[in-house]
Amino acid sequence: MDISKQAKLTLEKRVKNIEELIAKKGIGSAQLAKARRIQRNVNLAVLAGGVVAIAGFTAWLLHNTDED
């Protein structure tokens, strides 16, 4: 790997670390953490609802084909 690519990767890593530090301890970090938790919970609820809907649809299809 040449020096310019290595320097670029090092700088990107440092910038990412600084951004993470600001996100954890900066202004609004509590609201950001709360928003992430809410988004995670919403995603899990949507996933669970999708699984239940697919299972219900499958059960309905299997029940309807048995009657024919």
Domain spans, the chain: 3-67
> pLDDT-based confidence at 66, cuts 50/70/90?
low
What are the tens digits of pLDDT across the range 13-65? 999 999 888 888 888 888 888 999 999 999 999 999 999 999 999 999 998 88
Find all residues with CB under 8 Å of 32, minimum gap 6, and list them. Answer: 23
Q: Tell me the torsion sign for CA atoms 40, 42, 48, 50.
A: negative
| Torsion-angle region of 41 (φ positive above 0: left; ψ -120 to 50: alpha; else: beta) | alpha
Q: Angle at Cα 57 formed by Cα 44 and Cα 54, nearest 5°?
A: 25
0.85 surpassed by pTM: no
**pLDDT value for 28:** 84
Token representation of residue 43:
């995603």
